[in-house]
A and B are shown apart, each in its own frame.
Chain A
Amino acid sequence: MLEAILISIATAATPLFLAAIGELVAERAGVLNLGVEGMMAMGAVTGFGVGLATGSPAIGALAAIVVGAVFSQLFAFLTLTLASNQVATGLALTLLGLGISGQIGEAYVGQPGIRMGPVFLGLDPIFWFSLLLLVAVAWFLFHTKPGLKIRAVGDSHVSAHALGVPVIAIRYGAVAFGGACAGLAGAYLSLVYTPQWVEAMTSGRGWIALALVVFASWRPVRVLVGAWLFGAITIGQLQVQAMSLSTITGLPAPFDSIVGALKAVPSQFLSSLPYLATVLVLVLISRNRRLALVNTPASLGQPFVPDR
């Protein structure tokens, strides 16, 4: 029982973690990409479609990584080369990603997908990969020279530029990494978590991932902690919903729907818990202003035009 719950929490936490760790790298480089939700949606539809077409969830996941990275470059071109506003452009990426994925996914609605099965301890390969990714990102950011450059670019693009660090090129790379991770996170949803395609099936997870980065104060390990916390909240509320549903089975048909409607009362409330928890967490984090100021990449969200 406990094992099953832990596995389901890990499964709920993994897409949040993947999207958040990618966004963390982008934000460490000073780029606030609010397009995570859109990139995830693109990854989800790609993973589902390619997985279905090839019969291989692994190829589906790889395709989602590529599509996520490529799609993120639209955002990168506008914000980095054309110095557009990052908040607005990120929103545009989300709206476009949801639109395109909805259009492509039209053909997949109602089709059963293929599932990426567990390989070790009841967990799928992408979960294990995400743990490797955590170690790799933490090591890369804090123990390598390119990692130092990424952080330098995020903390002061002017100084980094003056020292000859290629600010824009590094940011392109960081955004692409974020896109690849978000794409994989989306594919996780449509290949592991719920192997099907539903329009806008990301249902705000990209935004929760953005909040997780703030919650983690831009530290990789804390992203994992936050993702597990939100995974636990998600699974917890689903368990309660399932319990209240199970008590109504076996009733005669006419009462079934009435009782079902009554039982529906708490279900919406429970479903809103992850979103409310996100707000709460953000408030708690931002109340401690000193903590927030120390960790926030100083150039986050600011456009950089290498001028003179």
Chain B
Amino acid sequence: MMIALNKRANPSPLFATLSPFIALTLTLVAGVILFLAIGKSPGAALYAYLIEPLTEGWSLHELAVKATPLILIGAGLCIAFLSGNWNIGAEGQLVMGAIAGAIVPVLIPDFRNLLTLPLMLCLGMLGGALWASIPGLLKAKFGTSEILTSLMLVYVAQLFLDWLVRGPWRDPAGYNFPQTVRFPTEATVPAIDYASGRAHWGFGIAILVALGLWYMLARTRRGFSLRVTGQSPRAARFGGFSPGRTTMFAFLLSGALAGLAGIIEVAGAIGQLRPVISPGYGFTAIIVAFLGRLNPAGAILAGLVLALSYLGGEAAQISLGVSDKIARVFQGMILFFVLGCDTLINYRIRIAGQSSGGVIAETPAATTGSDQKRDIDAAASAVPEAGRHA
């Protein structure tokens, strides 16, 4: 059996919409197989994983709490990835944003008024943007691979946070625990409805930011230049868009949003700095961006789905005794299936059963006239063609 790809003349709008859903369905199927393999009832497991977290008020709040950083970072990464800038160091930018924002409650604890929180959020964005500007600048100036530099800086940021909370920023009254003082009320993101759960207004900010980015991408010149640069840097240059400037913009924006996610996480959900402030939101947000098909509005839904995977992992640990680490396995599978399904958008997949030898061992066959026609004529895709190589 061999799989052959035929390029579509135009990306399929049908599969562009369907591919994330197909991917999620395939993840579910894989989940059923996985649970059967480890001897758990798939029905009970999927209920614990997917439904249970949605049945109670408090857990819906938790969903919003976990979705907040995922949506914020994921929406920013959509912009970065679309423009061809592989910022995979959002986890580090989240940490630096949290540190920068925490300057206010930790170093100037007496500054307590209506401006405290806005100042913290601004500093958080600044911290994330500055940290992201390092790989951005190195790429724009020297052409250094942003993939590796942005990732290396994650470790540096985490070690810096570790040093701060164990050293100079440690709460003197904290019984030697590696953590800062608890942030005062003025430095806390207020809860949406304190009586019913933990969800805070950061969730609202995340939704607004994602919608704003969606508008920018779809409707503004800036958004257009970002998309063009990602699809064809050469065309972008002819269009007068500077790739270097686009790179900087993409890094500063995605870094600022990761930083905002960081400060919102510590000022909203945690309430202080600790050695570890994120269960890998910055990396999971990469999955959010792709599951949302690199559309910031799609990142909202995708962020909720991935937030559910975290919650489901915790729920499954309690009710099934499965390690919550299985959530990470599912998250990785989602990304795999999304990337695989995205192939359907640009290609038709033909499965030919009559393969005789090696996968692609044949010499290239002569092109027939009907080959060109097939890309244009959708109906022709059903017609099997002989003499084509893989």
Chain A: residues with CB nearer than 8 A to chain B?
Answer: 34, 74, 78, 81-85, 87-89, 91-93, 95-100, 102-103, 106, 161-162, 164, 166-169, 172, 199, 203-204, 207-208, 210-211, 214, 257, 261-262, 264-265, 268-269, 271-272, 275-276, 278-279, 282-283, 286-287, 289, 292, 305-308
Contacts and interface: CB of A to CB of B under 8 A. Distances in A.
Contacts of B340: 78, 82, 84
Contacts of B384: none
23 contacts: A82-B349, A83-B343, A84-B342, A84-B343, A92-B335, A92-B339, A95-B328, A95-B335, A96-B335, A103-B323, A168-B390, A207-B152, A211-B145, A264-B166, A264-B167, A268-B162, A269-B159, A269-B163, A278-B148, A282-B145, A282-B148, A283-B144, A286-B143
Interface of B: 3, 5, 7, 81, 86, 88, 134, 138, 142-145, 147-149, 151-153, 155-156, 159-160, 162-163, 166-167, 170, 176, 283, 286-287, 290, 323, 325-333, 335-336, 339-340, 342-343, 347, 349, 358-361, 363-364, 367, 371, 389-390
Nearest to B372: A308
A308 B152 contact: no
A207 B143 contact: no
Contacts, number: 170
A92 B332 CA distance: 6
Contacts of A93: 336
A289 B343 CA distance: 33
Nearest to A270: B159
B152 A169 contact: no
Contacts of B81: 88
Contact of A276 (B88, B143, B152, B359): B152
B14 to A, nearest CB: 18
Contacts of B153: 275, 279
The 10 A-B residue pairs whose C-beta atoms are closest, nearest first, are A96-B332, A99-B328, A268-B163, A92-B335, A268-B159, A99-B329, A286-B144, A82-B343, A95-B332, A275-B152
A204 B152 contact: yes
Given A210-B148, A214-B148, A261-B167, A167 B143 contact: no
Given A95-B332, A99-B328, A103-B325, 10 more contacts: A83-B5, A84-B340, A89-B336, A89-B339, A164-B363, A166-B358, A275-B156, A282-B144, A286-B144, A308-B367
A27 to B, nearest CB: 12
A214 B156 CA distance: 21
Nearest to B155: A275
Given A82-B340, A264-B163, A272-B159, A306 B360 contact: yes
A226 B332 CA distance: 31
A307 B335 contact: no
A289 B335 CA distance: 34
A257 B175 CA distance: 12
Contact of A211 (B7, B134, B148, B349): B148
Given A84-B343, A305-B347, A282 B149 contact: yes
Given A286-B143, A307-B7, A308-B367, A96 B333 contact: yes
Nearest to A308: B367
Contacts of A269: 159, 163
A283 B139 CA distance: 9
Nearest to B157: A272
Nearest to A97: B332
B142 A283 contact: yes
A207 B88 CA distance: 12
A287 B329 contact: no
Contacts of A83: 5, 343, 347
A166 B361 contact: yes
Given A95-B335, A204-B152, A275-B155, A82 B167 contact: no
A34 B147 contact: yes
A271 B159 contact: yes
Contacts of B389: 306
A77 to B, nearest CB: 8
A308 B144 CA distance: 35
Given A92-B339, A95-B328, A207-B148, A169 B359 contact: yes
A287 B390 CA distance: 40
Contacts of A289: 143
